[in-house]
Amino acid sequence: MARAKPVSVTIGTQPFVCTVCRSALFWERRTRLPTHSGVGFAPSATGLLCTGCGYLHWFQNDNLRLWKQDEQQ
């Protein structure tokens, strides 16, 4: 479920910023990826929509951590 406020992101221990505008705040969206295999398993991904420029970054990575603005990094 999407969070109500923008979040900052780390991948492992490294802060993540938008590759287009270098903003550090994102709207989060979890979604299931389409599959054509016919198996019952559909992988999920996290979409991070940049609050600065609107570029959408997709991740399928367990090392992704989302931080509320009032949390310590």
Per-residue pLDDT at 41 exceeds 90 = no
Sign of the dihedral through C-alpha 12, 1, 34, 49: negative
Per-residue pLDDT at 36 exceeds 80 = no
pTM > 0.85: no
Give the span between the Cα atoms of 29 and 46, in whole angstroms.
6
**What pLDDT is stored for residue 60 in this prediction?**
86
As a whole number, the mean pLDDT across the chain is: 85
Per-residue pLDDT at 1 exceeds 60 = no
**What pLDDT is stored for residue 6 in this prediction?**
95
